Structure 1
Amino acid sequence: MPVIVLEARDFTSPLFLVRTWAVLSGCTTFSLVASLDHSALNQPNLSQDRFRIFCMFIWCFFFTITLLIHILSVIQFHSLIPISWKNLTMTVAVLGTLMCFSASVVFPWIIMDHQKLSTLSVAAAVASCLTFLAYTLESYVLCTQAHEQRGYMGSVPGLLKTLQLWGGCQMIPLVVEAIEEASVTSTNREASWQPWISSVSYSICILMSLVTLVVILGDLAGRCFLPFDRFLAGFSLIGVLLYMVATVICFTKILQLTDPRQLNQDKRAQLVIIETVVASITLLAYTVDFAFSIKLLCDRSHA
């Protein structure tokens, strides 16, 4: 089978240029961070080391998948892959935007938490911001295409589902940190169970988001034994309920910050505030998505 390559004008298209930018800046970012001396990242601090690994995973993962998408787009082999290409590219672009934004916020927080700053660490933070900007432009280019070209994940419900997945991913290092801190510093048995309840809620929501994403990318909606829009409505309702519980727990943690018996207040306050903000945003995304699902079901019932 002959290899079909893009025409010359396609190599100067906005989509090709921003993907090239995303690949180059992503590679630069994790290369700079990997070359940093361990002391420059405050390695004895296990919390910061955990978030550094999380940032490295984001840069490496999206660099790899964007490079594969870029290569397949150039040689025009994506039609041979049994997935919805338009939904895949939109999901990677939007999720890459959100995840790289998180890394661009977390990594400077890590390197600015100690007195000594190196040139490489500052350069890595700048490169991460450039990577975030590249994915933002790619998302904009894809969203300006026709609805048939951007697929379901380019619609408002699809973007909300990407936002839900982003929120769940942000909770992974936060919950791990909260569980570890509760097992060490908490003297209240009820408070020690709070991170476990939150982790169960977040895990269920992440699993539902991944199942939804697999069904959409694999074009498997027609194979479900029930209408897929009802599944989406049910998943959204479960997400609303679980994140309501998690958000209440987060605000309870904020009230517990006034307890003078709690150790390491500054660090704990930062993590609790971050978790509360992300949980509130994700709860809003599930609520709006549930409203869209109910509206769609009502429209179909009256049709």
Structure 2
Amino acid sequence: MPVTVTHPTVTTTMGSPTVVGSPRALTQALGLLRLLQLVSTCVAFSLVASAGAWKGPMGNWSMFTWCFFFAMTPVILLVELGGFQARFPLFWRNFPITFACYAALLCLSASIIYPTTYVQFLSHGHSHGHAIAAATVFFGIACVAYATEVAWTRARPGEITGYMASEPGLLKVLETFVACLIFVFISSPYVYHNWPALQWCVVVYALCFILAAFTILLSLGNCTNMLPIRFPSFLLGLALLSVLLYATALVLWPLYQFNEKYGVQPWQARGVSCSDRNPYLVCIWDRQRAVTILTAVNLLAYVGDLVYSAHLVFVKV
């Protein structure tokens, strides 16, 4: 009978049991790593706030990211210090690694987007710029700290753990994260409203995101047994459907955005539209290219998800 990783029984940190329900949890490697996450996110948003160095959608989004993860990391620390895992509303074996994976991805994106779309347009003094540069460095440190937690706590071969700690579970996080980035770039309807084919791509992005998010919520709520079919079979069917849908989007989106035969402007004209723009906004041409790249990235993620899901169904016994 094929098996899947759904019901964890142990948690390890660098090969040794994690101490929970005791102040010793802070002295373990994972506890120290979370303290580093807390400090780095605190310093990052404090420096930006003190300098007043956020403006426009990108600056506001970066500030929200810093503050959100600074607020959530102590929650995880307090739950483990008090041994409240059983009382936590979500399945604890899946929650911390899911949170850490999202945090690593969001911190990485913010540490890239914030300086490239905001810092380069600043016209303030050296002290102002140094504060922002230091904040970017600390946000990069937070990204590395969260990514290290994911690497330490993910499932090892032969280990029984939660689905979100396995490769398919982590890929689900990546798929939903990339889909959210796509939604940001297509937030303006004029990017796709002229063509039914582009509207189909938007439907693909939304449908695949909903299905992947539903899978994550099932795992976090420990509700996989409520499905009418076995969880591995559900994952396989979902991955196959998503690969097929994203394959159509990867063909249609660039075809109708960049091909002059379908009435779009040549790339030279689109390039001009980006020359004189608000430095804190992303022009149409850049949005279209970004969505194309992100569609290809998500298709690769779904292909990897399909391979892992097929392995769970057909190979594992």
TM-score by length of 1: 0.81
| CA deviation profile, 1:93-142 (whole Å, cap 9, x unmatched) | 12211121111111111224425262332222222111111111211221
Structure 1 residue 282 and structure 2 residue 298: aligned? yes
Amino acid at match of 2:227: C
| CA deviation profile, 1:249-269 (whole Å, cap 9, x unmatched) | 443335557344435246444
Q: 1:258 aligns with which of 266, 270, 274?
A: 266
Task: Provide the secondary structure at the position in 2 that maps to 1:85.
Answer: coil
Map of 1:186 onto structure 2? none
Q: 2:181 aligns with which of 166, 170, 182?
A: 170
Amino acid at match of 1:219: N
Map of 1:33 onto structure 2? 48
Report the Cα distance in structure 1 between the residues aligned to 2:155 and 2:216, rounded to whole angstroms: 22
Report the Cα distance in structure 2 between the residues aligned to 1:222 and 1:29, rounded to whole angstroms: 41
Amino acid at match of 1:202: Y
Report the Cα distance in structure 2 between the residues aligned to 1:128 and 1:257, rounded to whole angstroms: 39
| CA deviation profile, 1:207-236 (whole Å, cap 9, x unmatched) | 112210111111111121222222212221
Answer yes or no: is the 8 Å Cα contact 2:171–2:305 preserved in 1: yes
Map of 1:156 onto structure 2? 167
Report the Cα distance in structure 2 between the residues aligned to 1:70 and 1:145, rounded to whole angstroms: 23
Structure 1 residue 13 and structure 2 residue 13: aligned? no
Report the Cα distance in structure 2 between the residues aligned to 1:71 and 1:132, rounded to whole angstroms: 21
Map of 1:134 onto structure 2? 145
| Structure 1 unaligned blocks of 5 or more | 44-48, 184-188
Report the Cα distance in structure 2 between the residues aligned to 1:51 and 1:79, rounded to whole angstroms: 38
User: Which structure has more RCO (C-alpha within 8 Å, separation ≥ 6)?
Assistant: 2
Amino acid at match of 2:209: I
The Cα of 1:67 is off from its aligned counterpart by: 2.0
Structure holding more helix per residue: 1
Q: 1:180 to 1:63 in 2, by over 3 A?
A: farther
Q: 2:58 aligns with which of 32, 51, 62?
A: 51
Count of equivalent residues: 281
Answer yes or no: is the 8 Å Cα contact 2:23–2:81 preserved in 1: no
Task: Provide the secondary structure at the position in 2 that maps to 1:86.
Answer: coil
Amino acid at match of 1:16: G
Question: RMSD over aligned Cα, in angstroms?
Answer: 2.8
Map of 1:294 onto structure 2? 310
Q: 1:153 to 1:147 in 2, by over 3 A?
A: farther
Answer yes or no: is the 8 Å Cα contact 1:147–1:154 preserved in 2: no
Task: Provide the secondary structure at the position in 1 that maps to 2:187.
Answer: helix
Answer yes or no: is the 8 Å Cα contact 1:90–1:150 preserved in 2: no
Q: 2:233 aligns with which of 226, 230, 234?
A: 230
Map of 2:245 onto structure 1? 242
Map of 1:89 onto structure 2? 96
Amino acid at match of 1:241: L
The Cα of 1:91 is off from its aligned counterpart by: 1.0
Report the Cα distance in structure 1 between the residues aligned to 2:81 and 2:157, rounded to whole angstroms: 21
Q: 1:62 to 1:150 in 2, by over 3 A?
A: farther
Answer yes or no: is the 8 Å Cα contact 2:91–2:219 preserved in 1: yes
